[in-house]
Amino acid sequence: MKDLFKSLGPLGKQYKKMMEELQKIEEQLSEERIEASAGGGMVKAVASGRGELLEIIISPEVVDPNDVEMLQDLVLAAVREALSEAEKRRAEVLSQFTGGIIPF
């Protein structure tokens, strides 16, 4: 791969630098924590800036063995919101990186 960058001359160097910067951005995004909640904060989901689900926090008060369906709905809502916010954040950061030329 190094030979490919060299054979492309200045363009190869520019491409290599861009890829290194993109990798740093992806690493930073993976360290970001984006939290969303449902049910007034009774269920929380935490995702990385890359959209990886990291954690689900369920308040004991919301656990009702007679209403498991409500808990499932709350978990699903919190996870969807966390992943949606993570995707928005990733698109925002990558759009800044590309100057808005390449939509994400």
- The more confidently predicted of residues 99 and 63 is 63
**pLDDT score recorded for residue 74:** 97
- At 33, give phi and psi (nearest 5°): -120, 125
Q: 35-84, pLDDT tens digit by residue?
A: 999 999 999 999 999 999 999 999 999 999 999 999 999 999 999 999 99
Taking CA 42 as the corner, what is the angle to CA 89 and CA 91, rounded to the nearest 5 degrees? 5
The share of the chain scoring above pLDDT 70, in percent, equals 88
Instruction: Map out the domains of the chain with their CATH numbers.
Output: 2-98 (3.30.1310.10)
Q: Contacts by 25-31 with C-beta closer than 8 Å and gap 24+?
A: 25/93, 25/94, 25/97, 26/50, 28/93, 29/89, 29/90, 29/93
